Amino acid sequence: MAVTSFQSNKLGGLTLADIGLSGILSYASRFARAYGVIIDTEQANPDLERIGNMDMAANAVVNEMAVQGTLTVDASGVGYLKRLNRTNGLLYEDGSDAILDGSAGNIMSYMPPFYYHVEPLDATHYRLWVSPYRIQYFKRHPGWCLGTTKAVVNNTAIYDRSANSLWSVVNESTTFRGGNNSATNDGLEKGFLGKPRTQTSRTSFFNYAQNQGANFGIINYAAHSAIMMLFATKYATLNSQKAVSEKVDGFYSGGLGNGLTTVDWTQWGAYNSNYPLVRTGETIGLGLIDGEVNKVITAFDAGADVNVKLNTFMGLENPFGDIWEWIQGINIWKQTVAEGDKYLAYIYDKNVYEDTITNKYSRFFEFTKSEGWLKNVVAGEHFDMLGAEVNNGASSSTYFSDYFYNNTSLGLRVLRRGGDANAGSNAGLACSNTSHAASFAFSTIGSRLGFYGRVRPGG
């Protein structure tokens, strides 16, 4: 078991005498039973120093806990996941053909609970740790059960679900037509059959998810933060758009590539009015293997084809780019001067949902009032992913390497993540946008199904 050493000058400013025997044992435990990275908030290079158990880091053991399958839910709200093959999601674990059209349930990527710790070292350095084990001072993350694909909506009742239910499926029937549900281009690649639903508000997406059952919602803020956390500790970089690479010296290297972020906005508008470009399920053949696939969009620009890349991380197809994803579990209050002149984020646990801010939130924090390239995130003990500092040397290739959209429109706002097919280097796992209310809808904004009940093997 390879373990890095630790010295007193890296104990958050304390000496071994300061922390005592229990503290020494705690530090020894995390270096032996956890792994992570050191984040230097003044280091422009997005690549990070690894720490902790190097065997665990090389195998990304927390990420490897994830499974993928088709989820059915019983009358009591318990989910049963029939596992897909880890390296080919077109098959079940037993080798039989996977049923992905919705008749066997939703296609979900399930990350069990894990443990993490954000350990301040000094004013500009902190360690980000992850572990499958309970360790002193580490927080338990609930994990996630999220749609493998971007969310689709059925426009008529099907599979014992009412119309306007939210799904994660691969289905090109007219029942699951995406975009704004226009049939104008059915039969053409630029049409919406088999594609995610957009032009829908966060409020409506959540209500559609609830039509699947009380334990359903959309991707939440806790999952958004954890996805970045598990990317950074696996690849030892903050730049999720780094090129896909083979392992280097036994460790995961590179990133997830550009993803679907590189198309021209005007050409996209002429093609299909900036609605979704690709069908769901294009990367499912990769299973839980991070990577990318090639996709040719035919007759895109004045009849010419365009080549794009579609990526996947931990079984989540197009984790950034393609279309934006609305997020629940967070509401934002951009205050007037009279109200306090702050930008505040209110965080909600599990599937707690509201579009106003009452007493349902579990905590809140302040974030920057500026917009720009993301230099530092709020982080803190929860690894909060809203901007603490932008620009000041940050760019598409430095610091977090993503853009923080944060306009000055005051009032209640909500969050969306990832960017869209035109976002270019602005997009990424750390990219987010605070600019609109829960009622806003647009052609490039969709979401991702979430399940917040108990998950058991089966199905």
Q: Between the CA of residue 339 and those of 375, 412, 419, 434, 459, what are the distances in Å?
A: 27, 12, 31, 18, 51
Residue 248 has pLDDT above 70, yes or no: yes
Q: What is the pLDDT of residues 339-360, one digit of tens each?
A: 999 999 999 999 999 999 999 9
State whether residue 227 is helix, strand or coil: helix
* pLDDT recorded at residue 10: 45
How many Å apart are CA 388 and CA 203, to the nearest integer?
A: 27
Split at pLDDT 50, 70, 90, the class of 393 is very high
Structure tokens at 36: 């992570």
pLDDT of residue 3: 41
Q: What is the pLDDT of residues 157-184, one digit of tens each?
A: 999 999 999 999 999 999 999 999 999 9
pLDDT tens-digit readout, 60-86 = 999 999 999 999 999 999 999 999 999
Q: How large a percentage of the chain has pLDDT more than 90?
A: 92
Amino acid making up residue 21: L
| Spatial CB neighbours of 242, under 8 Å, sequence gap ≥ 6 | 46, 235, 254, 255, 256, 257
Rounded CA-CA distance 285/315 in Å is 10
**What is the average per-residue pLDDT within 323-337?**
98
Report the SS3 class of residue 385.
strand
Q: Please identify which residue in the block is written with the tokens 């039969």.
A: 187
Q: Are 198 and 442 in contact (CB under 8 A)?
A: yes
1-41 confidence digits (pLDDT tens)? 454 433 333 444 545 555 555 555 566 778 899 999 999 99
In angstroms, the CA 108 to CA 170 distance is 12
What's residue 15's pLDDT? Answer: 53
Residue 448 and residue 435: Cα distance in Å, rounded? 19
Query: pLDDT tier at 305 (50, 70, 90 boundaries)?
Result: very high
Mean pLDDT of 92-120: 98
Note whether 31 and 1 are within 8 A (CB): no
Reference 447, options 335, 280, 293; nearest CA is 280
pTM for the whole structure: 0.94
Question: What is the predicted pLDDT for the residue at 14?
Answer: 47
pLDDT average, residue stretch 217-232: 98
Which tens digits make up the pLDDT trace of 125-147? 999 999 999 999 999 999 999 99
